Amino acid sequence: MNKARRKRLAEAAELLEQALSIISETRDEEQEAFDALPESFQGGERGQAMEEAISSMEDVHGAVENARDTLADIAGGA
């Protein structure tokens, strides 16, 4: 892979790093909002929806993290 393509992949990895930050911040905010709910609401429909969103954001974070790492590896070595 030539230098220009490696540079573009490195840029994509940087953008994914920014996305990771946004996902983390949003997940943390949602977790704080869930934790602030009274226990009776945490077990209810709203709380369950919040927990599902938090879990989904964790899954997405992991997938984006893997993509970022793979791109960084390609950009650094290929």
Answering whether pTM is above 0.85, one says yes
Given a contact cutoff of 8 angstroms between Cβ atoms, the answer to whether 54 and 34 are in contact is yes
Residue 56: predicted pLDDT: 98
Residue 23: predicted pLDDT: 98
Residue 69: predicted pLDDT: 94
Half-sphere exposure of 25 (CA within 13 A, CB side): 6
Locus of tokens 């934790």: 35
Instruction: Tell me the pLDDT tens digit for each residue of 7-28.
Output: 999 999 999 999 999 999 999 9
Given a contact cutoff of 8 angstroms between Cβ atoms, the answer to whether 69 and 12 are in contact is no
Instruction: Tell me the pLDDT tens digit for each residue of 41-60.
Output: 999 999 999 999 999 999 99
Domain boundaries, the chain: 3-77
The one-letter code for the residue type at 64 is V
Instruction: Tell me the pLDDT tens digit for each residue of 33-42.
Output: 999 999 999 9
